[in-house]
């Protein structure tokens, strides 16, 4: 029982950290260039994970035949993803950026159905529809966006697609390595690719202050290292379905954080979009068929009608 409670606390902390990370990225980009921020962040994270893996898995080593797969996954999951994400957050609100990345499970389903020929269940189709409508509302229900804003959305969808490809290239590695080992090696490869780009990037070093330092350390220590350790602990004890359902609320944390910290407005369209995207991922993870859902709705209606009769 204690383990379950600790696991729930761990995943709640993880969701909170990752949700607020979009706000910290927004703040630190005032000083660091997008590539520099990602490079420094993962240099520190890889150092921490190196210590963790030496303690938990001292005998783990990367096999020569897996170097290429691990490198490709690391490039797309770390270097390419955070390049798109960091640049994207420069041009749109942190809330919108988080909500767009919240559609990754949906686009993963679409990718699997097209490339791997996996059939979409009723729940999957329903989730895809909810997600597409949600994106429509978040962007504002029209295409009249400023150039920078349009670029921001394009970059964020670039992040989404790079993560979908990352998931695809990582699948076979789980048969040989633990999640900790996979993330550690992928961060190493991703960071190596990021370093040359960071060296030629302009940074506003003169603007560094306590706020920037605190937010950068939060990203490097908490979001890139501690949060992942907590996530692995929760995943091990709660299972992937439950942890995924908790992660659905990460964009909600970002929206609320943006409202209270950055005074970002939460209009009606954004609220509808947020609900639909969270609902889309939730529906996808429900093990219910079309008939189960219809049966559930009917039972709710019957309960409601019986309560009305009792009141009369």
Are the beta carbons of 64 and 55 closer than 8 angstroms? Answer: no
User: What does the alpha-carbon distance between residue 121 and residue 290 come to, in Å, rounded to a whole number?
Assistant: 9
Question: What is the pLDDT averaged over residues 103-114?
Answer: 79
Q: Where are the domains of the chain?
A: 2-311
Question: For residue 124, how many other CB atoms are within 10 A of its CB?
Answer: 20
User: What does the alpha-carbon distance between residue 312 and residue 308 come to, in Å, rounded to a whole number?
Assistant: 6
Question: What is the pLDDT averaged over residues 39-68?
Answer: 92
Give the tokens for residue 145: 């966006």
Model confidence pLDDT, tens digit, residues 170-184: 878 878 888 789 889
Quick check: 310 pLDDT over 70?
A: no
Percent of the chain with pLDDT over 90: 37
Are the beta carbons of 76 and 166 closer than 8 angstroms? Answer: yes
Are the beta carbons of 286 and 55 closer than 8 angstroms? Answer: no
Is 0.95 surpassed by the pTM of this model? Answer: no
């Amino acid at each position: 029982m204690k383990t379950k409670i600790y696991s729930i606390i761990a995943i709640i902390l993880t969701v909170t950290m990752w949700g607020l990370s979009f706000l910290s990225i927004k703040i630190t980009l005032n000083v660091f260039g997008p590539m520099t921020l990602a490079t420094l962040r993962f240099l520190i994270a890889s150092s921490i994970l190196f210590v963790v893996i030496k303690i938990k898995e001292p005998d783990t080593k990367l096999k020569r035949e897996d170097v290429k797969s691990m490198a490709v996954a690391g490039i797309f999951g770390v270097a390419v993803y955070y390049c798109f994400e960091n640049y994207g957050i420069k041009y749109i609100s942190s809330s919108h950026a988080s909500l767009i990345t919240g559609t990754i499970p949906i686009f993963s389903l679409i990718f699997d159905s097209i490339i791997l020929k996996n059939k979409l269940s009723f729940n999957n189709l329903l989730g895809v529809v909810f997600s597409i409508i949600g994106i429509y509302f978040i962007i504002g229900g029209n295409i009249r966006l400023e150039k920078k804003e349009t670029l921001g959305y394009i970059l964020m969808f670039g992040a989404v697609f790079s993560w979908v490809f990352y998931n695809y290239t990582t699948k076979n590695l789980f048969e040989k390595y633990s999640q900790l080992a996979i993330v550690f090696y992928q961060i190493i490869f991703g960071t190596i690719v990021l370093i040359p780009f960071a060296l030629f990037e302009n940074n506003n070093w003169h603007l560094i202050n306590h706020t920037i330092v605190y937010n950068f350390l939060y990203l490097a220590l908490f979001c890139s290292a501690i949060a992942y350790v907590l996530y692995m602990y929760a995943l091990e004890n709660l299972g992937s379905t439950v942890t995924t359902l908790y992660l659905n609320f990460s964009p909600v944390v970002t929206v609320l954080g943006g409202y209270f910290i950055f005074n970002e407005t939460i209009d009606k369209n954004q609220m509808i979009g947020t609900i639909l995207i969270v609902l889309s991922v939730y529906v996808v993870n429900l093990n219910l068929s079309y008939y189960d859902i219809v049966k559930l709705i009917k039972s709710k209606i019957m309960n409601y009608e019986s309560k009305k009769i009792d009141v009369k």
